[in-house]
Structure 1
Amino acid sequence: MKVIGFIGPSGTGKSHRASWVAREHGTDFIIDDGLLIKGNTIVAGVSAKRESTKIASVKRALFTDPKHAEDVVKALKNNDTQVLLIIGTSDGMVEKIAARLGLGPVAEKVYITDVASEYEIKQALSTRREQGKHVIPVPTFEIKKDFSGYFLDPLQIFRRKGKGSYQLVGEKSVVRPTFSYMGNYTISDYTIYQIVEYVTSNIEGVSKISRFRAENRPDGIYIEMDLVLIYGYMIKKLLREVQEQVSEQIKHLTALNIRRMNVVAKSLVMDSRKS
């Protein structure tokens, strides 16, 4: 397997340009911050950006966990990888990753200064310092299941085809990791309840929520609620509408993944306006 290193200081825009550099060297396979990525898909690994501290993040990126390294090596073999791009902040980091994964020497090295101007690098560094944002070179839908509860923004990359014409060539995701110096953020269960209460109060056929429970887990949020419905509406259709609207609004407002939502029609009441 031919190993290519893509090297530059943290925050200089390596992940943003990773897909382009990989394609220029004839591969879709990239190792970036603990993840093995093929094209727009995460094949194996665990993102270092999920770790709660900077030290844990560095260890994850260097594959110090044998199980983590083993999973990525297995995926490389299963995909018959011939060329691999490894992203790192230094020559030493790229070489350590290659050694831990048993990939042999790094055959070629590309530096961020080879593919980005001084102005572009300064802009990337400014974004990292001021906003604490990190780029992962896969679409947002691909990582959302692993980054439930993080700030997630899609970043679409376009190429000019002609005057006033652009072609979408890829999508990346922007996250703010938990170890960001800008601090953590939390969303209380009561806030989730308030969102749900507001949404359901605007759905015709729902009288009120009689019981609500939200459980925030690492893979997403689990919701259970009992509803009092108004007599005369199709219950199954109404409960489905509640699930869809609540799920859509929570994802939009909080970036939390809804892993499960159990909705029960607990009782019925007559609508005094109809009677």
Structure 2
Amino acid sequence: MEIYALYGPSGTGKSTSALALAHKYNINAIIDDGLLIYQGKKVAGQSAKYEKTTVQAVKRAIFFWEEHADAVKEAINHYPIERLLVLGTSRKMIHRIQGALALPEIHHYINIEEIRSSAEIKAALFDRGTQGRHVIPIPRIQVEQDFIHRLIAKVDKIFSPKKEEIGETTIVHPQFQTGKIHVSELAMKKIAIQSCEHLPFIESFRKVKVDITNTPVVEVDASFIIHLGQNVNDLANTIQQHIYDAFLEFMDLEVEQIRIVVSHIQIESPAHA
């Protein structure tokens, strides 16, 4: 059995990335938060996300309870697993899981930063910190069999780079995840506008859209007043930089795409100005 380990801090998107990584390396089983997932289906264990407290969740994730570990070890020996992906918050946690399940040596260590961009990681951390959402990389119907106490937020289809569907993840709100912070779209629009409304060439903002569903995207429709000889692309780039810097400063988010639409341009001569 060939063992892969994916590690990174909590909330950085490991479970979200697990199915795509498994598809890429032809991995047919995953250990994630107390579950053994074989060919996209839960076959043994219990998710740490079902626990009521953070301490219980951590113990579940590292197979602290012997009965839980034994059930998963039995399933690992039962199924024809050629490659196994183990998820953890650190190499130390991976080794704890390795010992608890008597797994062979780990052949490949993968840091979450190697497969997700900085923007994706910051967006995932923002979502975890504000919405308290966690991902389980199995279909919703399997989650619903066990997870009856808290809201199941939604289901995400996972696609390969070739756009073929390779699996499904379920987003849940565990009981141990208390509290949410709501950042309204209006507040995010104001961050975008106020970051560059002082720029002398902006006449008005006609529309601003912000979407942080996956990675942050900002779209700005503006009117310009420019002088002869000014480069519109350079001015648009200035807006992009101001918006990028503002979201990074105030929300610790890296905006992956900033689209600038210039819907109206008024040209003035320097003398008129």
The DSSP-based 3-state class of the residue aligned with 1:170 is strand
Matched residue pairs, number?
179
1:178 is aligned to 2:178: no
Counterparts of 2:102 and 2:170 in 1: how far apart (Å)?
Answer: 29
Q: Give a deviation string over 1:106-154, Cα, whole Å, max 9, x none.
A: 2210111111000000000000000000000011011111101321121
Partner of 1:155: 156
Partner of 1:117: 117
Conservation of the 8 A alpha-carbon contact between 1:99 and 1:105: no
1:169 is aligned to 2:166: yes
Counterparts of 1:38 and 1:80 in 2: how far apart (Å)?
Answer: 9
Conservation of the 8 A alpha-carbon contact between 1:158 and 1:170: yes
- In structure 1, give the amino acid aligned to 2:175: T
Partner of 1:91: 91
Counterparts of 2:4 and 2:158 in 1: how far apart (Å)?
Answer: 23
Partner of 1:30: 30
Q: Percent identity?
A: 39
The DSSP-based 3-state class of the residue aligned with 1:155 is strand
TM-score by length of 1: 0.62
The alpha-carbon distance between structure 1 residues 168 and 23, as it changes in their structure 2 partners (threshold 3 A), is closer
Counterparts of 2:149 and 2:58 in 1: how far apart (Å)?
Answer: 21
Conservation of the 8 A alpha-carbon contact between 2:160 and 2:166: yes
The DSSP-based 3-state class of the residue aligned with 2:175 is coil
Counterparts of 2:81 and 2:4 in 1: how far apart (Å)?
Answer: 13
Shift in Å, 1:20: 1.4
Superposition misfits of 4+ residues, deviation over 4 angstroms: none
Q: Give a deviation string over 1:61-93, Cα, whole Å, max 9, x none.
A: 000111100000110111022221000000000
The alpha-carbon distance between structure 1 residues 167 and 80, as it changes in their structure 2 partners (threshold 3 A), is closer
Q: Give a deviation string over 1:157-215, Cα, whole Å, max 9, x none.
A: 24565xxxx543321100000000218xxxxxxxxxxxxxxxxxxxxxxxxxxxxxxxx
Partner of 1:42: 42
Could you tell me which runs of 5 or more consecutive residues in structure 2 were left unpaired when the two chains were aligned: 181-273
Q: Which moved further from structure 2: 16-25 or 121-130?
A: 16-25
Conservation of the 8 A alpha-carbon contact between 1:95 and 1:105: no
The DSSP-based 3-state class of the residue aligned with 2:123 is helix
Counterparts of 1:71 and 1:12 in 2: how far apart (Å)?
Answer: 28
The alpha-carbon distance between structure 1 residues 40 and 82, as it changes in their structure 2 partners (threshold 3 A), is closer
Conservation of the 8 A alpha-carbon contact between 2:69 and 2:101: yes
Structure-to-structure mapping, 1:95-244, within 5 angstroms: 95-152=95-152, 153-159=154-160, 167-182=164-179
Conservation of the 8 A alpha-carbon contact between 2:16 and 2:135: yes
The DSSP-based 3-state class of the residue aligned with 1:3 is strand
Counterparts of 2:51 and 2:141 in 1: how far apart (Å)?
Answer: 20
Q: Give a deviation string over 1:217-239, Cα, whole Å, max 9, x none.
A: xxxxxxxxxxxxxxxxxxxxxxx
- In structure 1, give the amino acid aligned to 2:53: T
Partner of 2:58: 58
TM-score by length of 2: 0.63
Partner of 2:3: 3
Conservation of the 8 A alpha-carbon contact between 1:139 and 1:171: yes
